[in-house]
Amino acid sequence: MPTLKLPPLSLYVHIPWCVRKCPYCDFNSHSTQSSAQNGGIPEQEYLKQLLLDMNFEQENAQNRKLTSIFFGGGTPSLFSDGTIATIIEAAEKTFGFEDDIEITLEANPGTAEQSKFSGFFNGGVNRLSLGVQSFNPKHLNVLGRIHSSDEAKNAIAMAKSAGFRRINIDLMHGLPEQTLEDALFDIETAVSLGPNHLSWYQLTIEPNTEFFSAPPRLPEDDNLADIQEAGYERINQLGFHQYEVSAYAKSTSARAKHNLNYWQFGDYIGVGAGSHSKITDLNTGHIRRYWKTRLPTDYMKRVASQYRNPCTAGEKVIASSELPLEFFMNALRLTQGVTIQTYESFTGLPFSNLDLSELIQKELLEVNNTIVRPTHLGTRYLNNVLDHFLVT
């Protein structure tokens, strides 16, 4: 049996508030309008609980330093630059930082302020991810976004002026009544603004969202396929290279280090309401997932005397029979695939025990002595590939 090894470690910080809940969003986020009725966002109270949560997580690091931090939400940029800096400082004291740590903060263009962006940058954030989604006013309105096309452009200019050189723009395609020309316009507009990373992904209708209750009219499947293929070609023509199903980077160094750790089955600690963690424990030989209590009000009321970590709501040890699916669910999103050594080191399982002959024969998967990766066809039909790893 291969020896189970500790993978790199990342930290995810969840900030669960946003100005307005978007109709497609199924994340653990809560409108500031409802918070306003209760005295506004309890930023300082939440900060105290985050720091407590982080302190309890120190042992799970197993002496590893952080390779990345990601502030997600909600809209993390609603918090003050001072609070974000305090969290970063506490994370460094608690876990330590690798020299080339990547620290990403998600921001909504509708809440962009020059002074705030400068404060985030000076406080340690070195990568900004802007949730633009579209530059088309009609589509922004349907998606419930609070910003305009001009505000999105201004936010990117502010980020650059603040000192950010690593900027991601989130774009969605397959939007209600979106044409191929609309989708290409969004791509070309985004690239013209000079980011070094694009996240371009298809709108999906998720349970417990407004769109699920009242589904909008989306493009037909043939139109979706045309948008996907043409968009992929256009992004590549504009100098961005796809390295994951929905991620494109100008260079290898511009790839999202935090997300790469997820996709390569790295470990991550989640702090904040509803955050999830995945940790390898060499003492037990187990890999486990656990999660924090979801509602912010409940999260902030947890008392240290009640639980080992007062914020934890549940956990699950991943059975060895489930590890192949757990691993490949993310690893096969990478266009270059993943090394066989990574699979064996981070699962503790022999690669030779996998029977991948059917996927290879159907030209969905390529395997050589060192790498396993999806073909172009396999990337397109990734769910079918993953079905092969389901435990029956």
154-200 tens-digit pLDDT: 999 999 999 999 999 999 999 999 999 999 999 999 999 999 999 99
Q: Which two tokens stand for residue 102?
A: 């990547």
Question: In the 8-state DSSP scheme, what is residue 177?
Answer: T
Q: Percent of the chain, pLDDT > 70?
A: 96
Instruction: Let me know if residue 280 belongs to a domain.
Output: no
What is the reported pLDDT for 38? Answer: 54
Domain boundary residue among 247, 262, 277? 262
Domain boundary residue among 215, 230, 262? 262
Instruction: Let me know if residue 229 belongs to a domain.
Output: yes
Instruction: Let me know if residue 314 belongs to a domain.
Output: no
One domain, residues 330 and 219 = no
Rounded Cα distance, 172 and 283, in Å: 43
What is the reported pLDDT for 304? Answer: 64
One domain, residues 143 and 230 = yes
One domain, residues 102 and 176 = yes
What is the reported pLDDT for 117? Answer: 94
First to last CA, the chain: 23
Instruction: Let me know if residue 373 belongs to a domain.
Output: yes
Helix (H, G, I), strand (E, B) or coil at 84: helix
- Expressed in percent and rounded to 5, the helix, strand and coil fractions of the chain are 40, 25, 35
The answer to whether residues 313 and 294 touch, using CB atoms and an 8 Å cutoff, is yes
Rounded Cα distance, 164 and 153, in Å: 15
Helix (H, G, I), strand (E, B) or coil at 18: strand
Rounded Cα distance, 309 and 242, in Å: 39
One domain, residues 200 and 75 = yes
Burial code (b: 16+ CB inside 10 Å, e: under 16) for 344-355 equals bbbbbbebeebe
One domain, residues 72 and 174 = yes
Q: Percent of the chain, pLDDT > 90?
A: 79
One domain, residues 104 and 247 = yes
**pTM tops 0.85, yes or no:** yes
Cα–Cα distances in angstroms (integers) from residue 96 to residues 69, 140, 214, in the given order: 12, 40, 47
Q: pLDDT tens across 258-287, in order? A: 999 999 999 999 999 999 999 999 999 999
Radius of gyration of the chain (CA): 21
Strands (E), the chain: 9-15, 17-18, 30-31, 66-73, 97-107, 127-133, 167-173, 197-202, 241-244, 247-249, 267-271, 276-281, 286-292, 312-317, 338-339, 365-367, 371-374
Q: Which two tokens stand for residue 14?
A: 């969840």
Closest to 47 in 3D by CA, of 13, 72, 18, 19 = 13
Tell whether the model's pLDDT for residue 8 goes beyond 90.
yes
Q: Which two tokens stand for residue 71?
A: 């502030």
One domain, residues 133 and 227 = yes
Tell whether the model's pLDDT for residue 101 goes beyond 90.
yes
Instruction: Let me know if residue 296 belongs to a domain.
Output: no
CA dihedral for 346, 352, 358, 359, sign (positive or negative): positive
Rounded Cα distance, 219 and 198, in Å: 22
Sequence-separated (6 or more) residues with CB below 8 Å from residue 132: 109, 147, 152, 169, 170, 171, 190
Tell whether the model's pLDDT for residue 146 goes beyond 90.
no
Provide mean pLDDT across the span 47-57.
95
The answer to whether residues 34 and 314 touch, using CB atoms and an 8 Å cutoff, is no
Domain boundary residue among 228, 262, 296? 262
One domain, residues 51 and 186 = yes
Instruction: Let me know if residue 351 belongs to a domain.
Output: yes
What is the reported pLDDT for 306? Answer: 58
Q: Provide the number of structural domains found in the chain.
A: 2
Alpha helices by DSSP H, listed for 7-113, are 32-36, 43-56, 81-95
Residue 369: which domain range?
A: 324-387
Work out the pLDDT band at 309, boundaries 50, 70, 90: confident
Tell whether the model's pLDDT for residue 36 goes beyond 50.
no
